[in-house]
């Protein structure tokens, strides 16, 4: 895979870059951003993935996420992919919650989405291989993941399906049970079809009910979030984790909404959470 550098800037002693490559998974060019903190020559660093929410690109968190200072402090690479394939000939929908900008991190099985909407394969397999080849990554098995809203859904489900790959998992205002809420029902039905059994691999609460396990999860959720009651419903995740014995830290943050003002306020906490687990020594 050939990677094109779109831009680079120095920040907090490291390099913030934006890159583009032709994806085999989506059949389209894909753009992503990577922040590499200052490090010694030859040093390899762990990775924190950030998956964005509906309508976003890599640029939202890159411009507004305020992650570079804590990533530089903790020596963690920060990777921010796009949320969907884009471009001429890529299927789309007039609504913001379907189509371009709303890939939901699944591999579509239904037309017209099947040719390009393969975000699960892209995020789970293709992009990690490219990041490992092009950046000073320590180990593909030493990673952390977080995300916001639709990206929180993606982070939780990706980690639950690949528990040995992620040492830290967190989310900002995630869609925890997409099978049970309007955003998810529309997207999963559109991309995967009417068989709700096939949706369960893309629903964090359903995955936990079906036996998937993580040792611990951090979730921050604003109590003034306009989508809290209808779309997010973190109490479903609380109940599933309690029943499964998963250590969930669910922090309801008073006065915060769904915006990047909320995300940027608690980003340093999520980077520190990830770094503590990424840098921990393996048991002897």
pLDDT at 139: 82
List all residues 6 or more positions away from 44 whose beta carbon is below 8 Å from its beta carbon: 136, 137, 138, 139
179 as an active site residue: the answer is no
**Residue 283 pLDDT level (bands cut at 50, 70, 90):** low
Average pLDDT over residues 172-190: 98
Does the domain at 3-279 match CATH 3.30.470.10? Answer given as: no
The answer to whether 239 touches 44, Cβ cutoff 8 Å, is no
The catalytic position among 23, 52, 84, 149 is 149
- Report pLDDT digits (tens) over 89-106: 999 999 999 999 999 999
170 as an active site residue: the answer is no
| Distance, CA of 189 to CA of 60 (rounded, Å) | 27
Q: Residue 225: pLDDT above 90?
A: yes
Average pLDDT over residues 128-142: 91
| Distance, CA of 106 to CA of 198 (rounded, Å) | 11
Q: Is the peptide bond before 126 cis (omega within 30 degrees of 0)?
A: no
Q: Is the peptide bond before 112 cis (omega within 30 degrees of 0)?
A: yes
Q: Residue 187: pLDDT above 60?
A: yes
User: Percent of the chain scored above 90 by pLDDT?
Assistant: 96
The catalytic position among 58, 74, 116, 258 is 258
Nearest 5°: the CA angle 237, 250, 260 is 100
- 6: its two tokens: 């779109």
pLDDT at 284: 45
Per domain, the residue ranges of the chain are 3-279
- Report pLDDT digits (tens) over 48-84: 999 999 999 999 999 999 999 999 999 999 999 999 9
Least confident of 4-13, 115-124, 274-283: 274-283
**Residue 1 pLDDT level (bands cut at 50, 70, 90):** low
251 against 281, higher pLDDT: 251
pLDDT at 168: 97
User: Percent of the chain scored above 70 by pLDDT?
Assistant: 99
Residue-averaged pLDDT of the chain: 97
Nearest 5°: the CA angle 2, 113, 237 is 95
92 as an active site residue: the answer is no
pLDDT at 141: 77
Average pLDDT over residues 164-178: 97
The answer to whether 56 touches 31, Cβ cutoff 8 Å, is no
- 32: its two tokens: 């992503």
């Amino acid at each position: 895979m050939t990677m094109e550098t779109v831009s680079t800037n120095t920040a907090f002693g490291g390099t913030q870059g934006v890159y583009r490559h032709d994806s085999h998974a989506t059949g389209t060019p894909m753009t992503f951003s990577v922040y590499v903190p200052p490090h010694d020559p030859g040093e390899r660093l762990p990775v924190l993935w950030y998956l964005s929410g509906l309508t976003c690109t890599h640029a939202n968190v890159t411009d507004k996420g305020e992650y570079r200072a804590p990533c530089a402090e903790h020596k963690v690479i920060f990777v921010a992919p796009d949320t969907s394939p884009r471009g001429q000939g890529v299927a789309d929908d007039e609504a913001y919650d379907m189509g371009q900008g709303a890939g939901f991190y699944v591999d579509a099985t239904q037309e017209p989405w099947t040719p390009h909407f393969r975000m699960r394969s892209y995020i789970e397999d293709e992009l990690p291989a490219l990041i490992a080849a092009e950046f000073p990554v320590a180990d593909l098995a030493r990673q952390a993941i977080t995300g916001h809203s639709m990206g929180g859904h993606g982070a939780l489900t990706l980690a639950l399906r690949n528990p040995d790959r992620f040492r830290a998992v967190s989310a900002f205002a995630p869609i925890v049970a997409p099978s049970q809420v309007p955003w998810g029902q529309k997207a999963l039905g559109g991309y995967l079809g009417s068989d709700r059994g096939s949706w369960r691999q893309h629903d964090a609460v359903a995955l936990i009910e079906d036996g998937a396990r993580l040792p611990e999860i951090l979730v921050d959720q604003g109590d003034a979030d306009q989508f809290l009651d209808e779309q997010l419903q973190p109490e479903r995740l609380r109940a599933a984790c309690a029943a499964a014995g998963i250590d969930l830290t669910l922090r309801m943050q008073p006065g915060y909404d769904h915006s990047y003002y909320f995300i940027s306020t608690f980003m340093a906490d999520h980077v520190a959470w990830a770094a503590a687990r990424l840098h921990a020594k393996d048991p002897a």
